[in-house]
């Protein structure tokens, strides 16, 4: 006799991968998107992101305002991707085949995998340090391995457990971060460090870019976590739940980071985990705060592993036309990804890790044109009508390679180069703007301007949404 209770259902590995989620297996409400994305953003890397705006010269007040503008703008783009999930029932990057072609979508996919790997590795380093402090062990490396195993287990189990972890992270994050904010204001004269400098265009735009780029990195996998919602779920409800969760969570964390940087300066950046533990106060409470750090990083690292797995599978199946794989193969994909990210974290020196993180951040320039192309096609050209079976057939409606989309994508990436402001490279126009980074704005605007008129003439969307069951009925 078997028992399919709630715990067993949650801990049973997810069966679906890049295939369409059947209506009979759809469940949940848009509220789940709020808690997942709120929890994923209540974490130490988001705190560091906010702190960077101040470390690089912005006043805390203007940094917070700039971060808010960036989070609102980037969060709107990200939530528009999320709204595709219930109607399509597909992971995010599979839908890119409708624009780039079944094999052409591999181009942004490979860069997405590299980004996930980089963020997973850097997150493993921070979480490993926190786990080492919780367990009172000297080896942060052992903490990284433990964290990698936890990430793999949750990612293999899949969708339902990921959402449960997101809900727990939301509650724990609110309690932990509120306590830390109270401690910060109690230990430091925070008000004396706010509004001491006027607005500076370059640093303000840098803060905007930090917030926007943070949100844009979620775009390639956000629909992975809304695709199980019932097909009847309204686009508006999915959009607003995702938007509110990701913007409030990230802005809360980044504001806290900006305030910490304003009062503590580079002391926080030298030892982020240790600084937060010291701020917590008594050892017993510090341990609890380290657990908050681990849970927040675990939530977003699972998203990276799950998204990385989906992107790898989407890449491989572009050449063999599969839409499903076995549970064993799925597990091996995820274990391979988490093993690679953990090994990078273990092998990385501090200098290498910082350089790798900068390289990954530079890759953000490849996702602004991808977002522009995907959203313009889905909402304005195809008008939410996709031939889903054709997404798995290189000889079908969308073909193997879409030269129009790929050409616009390349232009959208290249046009940003003169506007970049990174440690790796600073563009000539950026120097003329006093160091202000507006590359992401240029990438979106230019890509949209050239892609829309070209795709409008060449696109061939179906008259209505075509699901696999519809195609089978047509053949019969």
For residue 152, the model assigns a pLDDT of: 92
For residue 2, the model assigns a pLDDT of: 41
Q: Tokens 């080492």: give the residue.
A: 132
Q: How confident is the model at residue 473 (pLDDT cuts 50, 70, 90)?
A: very low
Of 173-182, 357-366, 457-466, least confident by mean pLDDT is 357-366
For residue 470, the model assigns a pLDDT of: 58
First to last CA, the chain: 39
Residue 380 domain boundaries: 25-475
In terms of pTM, does the model score above 0.75?
A: yes
Give domain status of residue 241, yes or no: yes
Give domain status of residue 19, yes or no: no
Residue 375 has pLDDT above 90, yes or no: yes
Domain count, the chain: 1
For residue 195, the model assigns a pLDDT of: 85
**Which DSSP state fits 138?**
S
Where on the phi/psi map is residue 89: left (φ > 0), alpha (ψ -120 to 50), or beta?
A: left
Give domain status of residue 146, yes or no: yes
Q: How confident is the model at residue 274 (pLDDT cuts 50, 70, 90)?
A: confident
Provide mean pLDDT across the span 265-284: 85
Taking a C-beta distance cutoff of 8 angstroms, is the pair 454, 375 a contact? no
Query: CA geometry: angle at 421 spanning 417 and 297, to 5°?
Result: 110
Residue 204 has pLDDT above 80, yes or no: yes
Provide mean pLDDT across the span 231-249: 96
Alpha-carbon dihedral angle through residues 227, 233, 236, 239, given to the nearest 10 degrees: -20
Q: How confident is the model at residue 430 (pLDDT cuts 50, 70, 90)?
A: confident
For residue 93, the model assigns a pLDDT of: 87
For residue 354, the model assigns a pLDDT of: 63
Of 136-150, 275-289, 423-437, least confident by mean pLDDT is 423-437
Give domain status of residue 286, yes or no: yes
Give domain status of residue 425, yes or no: yes
Taking a C-beta distance cutoff of 8 angstroms, is the pair 49, 188 a contact? no
For residue 7, the model assigns a pLDDT of: 53
d(C-alpha 200, C-alpha 146), whole Å: 43
Q: Could you give the residue ranges of the DSSP H alpha helices within 136-158?
A: 140-157
Residue 391 has pLDDT above 50, yes or no: yes
Closest CA to 187 of 275, 294, 283: 275
| Residue-wise pLDDT tens digits, 20-31 | 999 898 888 999
For residue 3, the model assigns a pLDDT of: 45
For residue 376, the model assigns a pLDDT of: 95
| Residue-wise pLDDT tens digits, 85-106 | 999 999 888 989 999 999 999 9
Q: How confident is the model at residue 351 (pLDDT cuts 50, 70, 90)?
A: low
Taking a C-beta distance cutoff of 8 angstroms, is the pair 235, 375 a contact? no
Give domain status of residue 2, yes or no: no
| Residue-wise pLDDT tens digits, 124-150 | 888 898 999 898 888 888 999 999 999
Q: Which residue has the higher pLDDT, 339 or 469?
A: 339
Residue 60 has pLDDT above 50, yes or no: yes
Helix (H, G, I), strand (E, B) or coil at 234: coil
Q: Which residue has the higher pLDDT, 236 or 271?
A: 236
Provide mean pLDDT across the span 197-203: 85
Give domain status of residue 196, yes or no: yes
Looking up residue 206, the CATH number of its domain turns out to be 1.10.4160.10
Give domain status of residue 6, yes or no: no
d(C-alpha 94, C-alpha 108), whole Å: 11
The percent of residues above 90 in pLDDT, for the chain, comes to 50
d(C-alpha 109, C-alpha 311), whole Å: 6
Residue 360 has pLDDT above 70, yes or no: no
Residue 122 has pLDDT above 90, yes or no: no
Provide mean pLDDT across the span 46-70: 91
Residue 10 has pLDDT above 70, yes or no: no
């Amino acid at each position: 006799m078997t028992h399919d209770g709630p715990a067993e259902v949650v801990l049973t590995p997810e069966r679906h991968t890049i295939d369409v989620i059947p209506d009979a297996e759809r469940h949940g409400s848009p509220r789940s998107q709020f808690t997942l994305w709120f929890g994923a953003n209540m974490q130490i890397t988001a705190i560091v992101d906010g702190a960077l705006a101040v470390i690089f010269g912005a006043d805390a007040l203007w940094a917070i305002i700039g971060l808010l503008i960036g989070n609102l703008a980037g969060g709107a783009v990200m939530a528009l991707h999320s709204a595709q999930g219930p109607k399509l029932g597909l992971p995010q990057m599979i839908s890119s085949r409708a624009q780039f072609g079944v094999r052409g979508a591999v181009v942004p996919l490979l860069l997405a995998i590299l980004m996930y790997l980089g963020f997973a590795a850097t997150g493993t380093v921070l979480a490993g340090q926190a786990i080492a402090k919780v367990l009172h062990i000297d080896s942060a490396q052992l903490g990284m391995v433990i964290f990698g195993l936890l990430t793999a287990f949750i990612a293999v189990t899949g969708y339902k457990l990921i959402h449960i972890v997101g809900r727990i992270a939301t509650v724990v994050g609110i309690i932990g971060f509120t306590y830390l904010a109270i401690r910060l204001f109690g230990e430091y004269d925070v008000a004396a460090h706010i509004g001491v400098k006027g607005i500076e265009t370059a640093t303000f735009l840098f803060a905007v870019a930090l917030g926007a780029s943070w949100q844009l990195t979620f775009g390639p996998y956000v629909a992975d976590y809304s695709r199980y919602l019932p097909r009847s779920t309204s686009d508006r409800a999915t959009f607003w739940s995702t938007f509110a969760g990701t913007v409030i969570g990230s802005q809360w964390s980044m504001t806290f980071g900006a305030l910490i940087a304003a009062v503590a300066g580079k002391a926080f950046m030298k030892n982020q985990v240790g600084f937060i533990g010291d701020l917590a106060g008594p050892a017993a409470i510090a341990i609890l705060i380290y657990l908050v750090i681990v849970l927040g990083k675990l939530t977003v690292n699972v998203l990276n592993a799950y998204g990385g797995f989906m992107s790898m599978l989407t890449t491989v199946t572009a050449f063999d036309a599969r839409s499903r794989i076995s549970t064993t193969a799925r597990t091996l994909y995820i274990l391979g990804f988490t093993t690679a990210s953990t090994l990078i974290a273990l092998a990385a020196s501090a200098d290498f890790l910082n350089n790798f993180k900068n390289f990954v951040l530079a890759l953000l320039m490849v996702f602004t044109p991808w977002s522009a192309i995907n959203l313009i096609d889905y909402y304005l050209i195809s008008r939410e009508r996709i031939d889903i079976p054709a997404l798995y057939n290189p000889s079908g409606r969308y073909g193997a390679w879409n030269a129009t989309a790929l050409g616009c994508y390349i232009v959208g990436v290249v046009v940003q180069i003169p506007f970049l402001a990174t440690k790796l490279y600073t563009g000539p126009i950026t120097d003329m703007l006093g160091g202000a980074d507006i590359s992401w704005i240029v990438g979106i605007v230019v890509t949209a301007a050239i892609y829309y008129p070209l795709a409008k003439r060449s696109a061939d969307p179906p008259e209505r949404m075509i699901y696999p069951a519809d195609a089978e009925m047509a053949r019969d």
